[in-house]
């Protein structure tokens, strides 16, 4: 089925433009209720700090109540917190109103099932098939009821703290935390303070329009400057909905998702707690794969997207995986990517090892990586293009075991992503440019 609305992580777009309209949210709730709760049930709804969250919350609430579904409203809470509450409250469905790391004028809607996991493609397809049909309204006696959950942040905070090892604390650690003016702005500082950290919060003053604005995991420059300026031990950056994490060491150097995954994997292996392989994606740095191999840790690559990482972990019995962007899955602690929980596991590794974050990442080299986005006016079959096939073959021979090439179409825009990485920066840049030229030629031929 060709999807019209659902992307790789729910539905997302500019507020006020299709599909992110109040009318669409109302119909989406009605469709989800018909597919997943035809005989009634309960849905948990949470959001990030965007000003548009209020109107989408109200529209979703109305659509579910009209369809005979009870609603629990959490208010602003990180995406993983909504997944947690869906399980805790026995909900049939969790709904997140967020556009993650996008600017405030975008928003989105995504779903979790009753176990706190993302819906299957089949379930999303069934919902999409009903979205354009009229909403349903049950008889008055069968309408749902809506209740606002109090102290949701406190409950989620305690859940996060329980994932931190007993007998370990953060006393004596000076930490800068940047919550991107997003959903984690209350929970993250409270968790860290409760565990004893000396805290410097930034990006923790949302006004509805400043979410992700020069802050958070996608804009860590202020965090890097602050960590060095206040002589902190490290910094933590979440994204707008709190499911993504990057960190900064005491020298202000960025520590990305690949490096965090290395820290967590080596610490779990050292303690005898690592289960199954570690799973990254096709975009994970080759340095991670080589570093884990040196430690005797099996590493697998999934397609881009945390749901693909999750599927591979489940298939192979693993519990630890993630993406370069900072989506870290600790399945022994949480059902989905959780920036606060992942940060706590890294902090636990720092405390238990007695080493700094900078020292813990020393064992993983980050190979130079070049990414070129080639716009393609027409869809092209890269495998059937002689010029692309030849360029790839020659590139792989030149790189041999010291590098690799990834060529993939974007899932969100009309571009082909050419990624080359390896030990030699000059060779990487030259190889990427050559392959990009081949893709452009193939695109001209297909036009």
Q: Which domains does the chain have, with CATH numbers?
A: 11-150 (3.40.120.10), 156-360 (3.40.120.10), 369-446 (3.30.310.50)
Q: 244: which residues sit within 8 A by CB, 6+ positions away?
A: 100, 101, 217, 238, 257, 325, 326, 327, 337, 339
CA-based nearest residue to 217, from 205, 192, 235, 233 = 235
Q: What is the DSSP string of 286-322?
A: HHHHHHHHHTT--EEEEPSSHHHHHHHHHHHT--EEE
pLDDT digits 0-9 by tens, 357-406: 999 999 999 999 999 999 987 678 888 899 999 999 999 999 988 899 99
Q: What was the pLDDT predicted at 325?
A: 94
Measured between alpha carbons, how far is 250 from 230 in angstroms, rounded to an integer? 10
What is the rounded average pLDDT of the residues 59-76?
98
Q: Is a pLDDT exceeding 60 seen at residue 227?
A: yes
Query: Prior bond to 334 cis, omega within 30?
Result: no
The residue ranking higher by pLDDT, 7 or 437, is 437
pLDDT digits 0-9 by tens, 84-118: 999 999 999 999 999 999 999 999 999 999 998 88
What is the rounded average pLDDT of the residues 164-179?
97
In a 3-state reduction of DSSP, which class is residue 224? Answer: helix
Q: Which of 21-25, 290-294, 338-342, 379-383 has the lowest mean pLDDT?
A: 379-383
Measured between alpha carbons, how far is 177 from 27 in angstroms, rounded to an integer? 38
φ/ψ (deg, to 5) at 385: -95, 115
In a 3-state reduction of DSSP, which class is residue 279? Answer: strand
- CA 232 to chain centroid: 26
Q: What was the pLDDT predicted at 409?
A: 85
Burial-class residue 147 by CB neighbours within 10 Å (0-12, 13-18, 19+).
exposed
φ/ψ (deg, to 5) at 108: -160, 170
Q: What was the pLDDT predicted at 6?
A: 93
Residue 436 token pair:
């990009």
CB 123 within 8 A of CB 35: yes
**226-235 as b/e: b if 16+ CB within 10 A:** bbbeeebbbb
Q: Is a pLDDT exceeding 60 seen at residue 63?
A: yes
Measured between alpha carbons, how far is 189 from 199 in angstroms, rounded to an integer? 7
Measured between alpha carbons, how far is 81 from 74 in angstroms, rounded to an integer? 9
**CB count in 10 Å sphere of residue 298:** 14
pLDDT confidence of 250, banded at 50, 70, 90?
A: very high
Q: Torsion angle of alpha carbons 275, 281, 285, 290, nearest 10°?
A: 40
Measured between alpha carbons, how far is 221 from 395 in angstroms, rounded to an integer? 34
Measured between alpha carbons, how far is 203 from 238 in angstroms, rounded to an integer? 10
Measured between alpha carbons, how far is 344 from 348 in angstroms, rounded to an integer? 6
Q: Is a pLDDT exceeding 90 seen at residue 7?
A: no
The residue ranking higher by pLDDT, 435 or 305, is 435
**Residue 68, phi-psi category: left (phi > 0), alpha (psi -120 to 50), beta (remainder):** left
pLDDT confidence of 1, banded at 50, 70, 90?
A: low
Residue 410 token pair:
């974007």
Residues facing residue 236 across a β-bridge = 177, 247
Q: Which helix (H) or strand (E) holds 205?
A: none
Measured between alpha carbons, how far is 242 from 446 in angstroms, rounded to an integer? 41
pLDDT confidence of 412, banded at 50, 70, 90?
A: low
The residue ranking higher by pLDDT, 264 or 415, is 264
Calculate the average pLDDT of the chain: 95
Catalytic residues: 100
Q: What was the pLDDT predicted at 411?
A: 65
Count, residues in the chain: 447
**Residue 225, phi-psi category: left (phi > 0), alpha (psi -120 to 50), beta (remainder):** alpha
CA-based nearest residue to 6, from 102, 100, 115, 119 = 119
Q: What was the pLDDT predicted at 414?
A: 81
Residue 294 token pair:
């040196």
DSSP designation for 134: P
């Amino acid at each position: 089925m060709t999807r019209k609305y659902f992307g790789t992580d729910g539905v997302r777009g500019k507020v006020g433009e299709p599909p992110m309209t109040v009318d669409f949210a109302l119909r989406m709730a009605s469709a989800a209720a018909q597919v997943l709760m035809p005989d009634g049930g309960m849905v948990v709804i949470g959001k990030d700090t965007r000003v548009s969250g209020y109107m989408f919350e109200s529209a979703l609430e109305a659509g579910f109540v009209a369809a005979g579904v009870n609603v629990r409203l959490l208010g602003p809470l990180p995406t993983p917190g909504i997944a947690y509450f869906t399980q805790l409250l026995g909900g049939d469905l969790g709904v997140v109103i967020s556009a993650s790391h996008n600017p405030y004028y975008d928003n989105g809607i995504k779903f979790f099932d009753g176990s706190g996991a993302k819906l299957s493609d089949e379930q999303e397809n069934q919902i999409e098939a009903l979205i354009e049909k009229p909403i349903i309204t049950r008889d008055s006696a069968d309408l749902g009821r809506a209740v606002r959950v109090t102290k949701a942040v406190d409950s989620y905070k305690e859940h996060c703290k329980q994932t931190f090892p007993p007998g370990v604390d953060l006393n004596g650690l000076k930490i800068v935390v940047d919550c991107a003016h997003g959903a984690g702005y209350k929970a993250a500082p409270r968790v860290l303070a409760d565990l004893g950290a000396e805290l410097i919060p930034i990006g923790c003053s949302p006004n509805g329009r400043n979410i992700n604005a020069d802050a958070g995991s996608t804009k860590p420059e202020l965090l890097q400057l602050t960590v060095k300026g206040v002589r902190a031990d490290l910094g933590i950056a979440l994204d707008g909905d709190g499911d993504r994490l990057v960190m900064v060491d005491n020298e202000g150097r960025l520590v990305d998702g690949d490096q965090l995954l290395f820290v967590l994997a080596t610490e779990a292996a050292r303690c005898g707690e690592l289960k199954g392989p570690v799973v990254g994606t096709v975009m994970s740095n080759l340095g991670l794969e080589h570093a884990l191999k040196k430690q005797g840790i099996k590493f697998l690559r999934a397609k881009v997207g945390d749901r693909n990482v999750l599927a591979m972990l489940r298939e192979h019995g693993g519990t630890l995986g993630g993406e370069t962007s900072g989506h870290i899955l600790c399945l022994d602690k949480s059902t989905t990517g959780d920036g606060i929980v992942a940060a706590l596991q890294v902090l636990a590794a720092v405390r238990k090892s007695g080493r700094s974050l900078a020292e813990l990442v020393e064992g993983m080299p980050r190979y130079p990586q070049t990414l070129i986005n080639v716009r393609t006016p027409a869809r092209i079959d890269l495998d059937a293009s002689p010029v692309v096939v030849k360029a790839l073959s020659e590139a792989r021979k030149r790189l041999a075991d010291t590098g690799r090439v990834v060529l993939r179409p974007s899932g969100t825009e009309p571009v082909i992503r050419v990624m080359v990485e390896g030990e030699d920066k000059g060779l990487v840049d030259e190889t990427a440019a050559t392959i990009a030229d081949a893709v452009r030629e193939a695109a001209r031929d297909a036009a």
